[in-house]
Amino acid sequence: MNEIEPALDATAAGERLAAVEQRIGQAAQAAGRSLDAVKLVAVGKTFQAGAIEPLIAAGQRRFGENRVQEAQAKWPKLRAKYPDLELHLIGPLQSNKVADAVALFDVIETVDREKIARAIAKEIDRTGKRLQLFVQVNTGEEPQKSGVLPADMQGFVALCRDELDLPIEGLMCIPPLDEEVGLHFALLAKLAARAGLGNLSMGMSADFETAIRFGATHVRIGTALFGPRGQG
């Protein structure tokens, strides 16, 4: 069978969640870290609310989406039903979506340029919304990827924190596909320590155990929880 399952039933969702949590726990333990040091962000992108809800029913509360518009279409309803959800934006943010993103998300992991940082600051001032922010770092210095360059990270974080008074709490990265991920995770950890930031969002289905070894506090996992994505 190579059909893509459009939705998870409750049992399958619970089993996949338990399996992923167990692997996170084992990796944390092996790294000498406490079990609650690593938070699971379940990435529901491309999946409908009907596929996500069984995971919520199984106890998962923290979710990630990479598109503002897609998230707006499915999360307000789930939110109304489960008020204690925590929603992370993990995809690039455009200026014209900042107001929507600030309204919908609890955590924006992809602050990556001055224009966006200023727009978020303005929106927080206007609405009083409480948010957690991460700066995305382009650790591989890939031209097509978003994120501030490692060399610019300190200056950018200083601008965000000191001038704009933004609640920057961590760094996030997506390593290049074809490189040793550990090098990128180590770099992100080093940059965060240098900036005095305690949170590291790094690691996906294929490499989250490595990320945990290098200090990830947030792992963003889609496929291992939901199965393969369709066209989306």
Ligand X SMILES: *Cc1c(COP(=O)(O)O)cnc(C)c1O
Q: How far is the CB of 203 from ligand X (least distance, A)?
A: 8
Q: Which of 45, 100, 125, 130 binds ligand X (CB under 6 A)?
A: 45
Residue 231: strand, helix, or coil: coil
Q: How far is the CB of 25 from ligand X (least distance, A)?
A: 18
Q: How far is the CB of 43 from ligand X (least distance, A)?
A: 4
Q: Which of 62, 70, 205, 227 binds ligand X (CB under 6 A)?
A: 205
- Using CB under 6 A as the binding rule, whether residue 199 contacts ligand X is answered as no
**DSSP state, residue 101:** H
Q: Which of 90, 119, 137, 166 binds ligand X (CB under 6 A)?
A: 90
Cβ neighbours of residue 40 under 8 Å, at least 6 residues apart? 20, 21, 24, 60, 62, 219, 221
Cβ burial, residue 45 (10 Å; 0-12/13-18/19+): middle
Count of CB atoms within 10 A of residue 225's CB?
Answer: 24
- Using CB under 6 A as the binding rule, whether residue 146 contacts ligand X is answered as no
The pairing of strands 168-172 and 132-136 is parallel
Residue count, binding to ligand X (CB under 6 A): 14
> Could you list the residues that contact ligand X (CB under 6 A)?
43, 45, 66, 90-91, 174, 204-206, 220-224
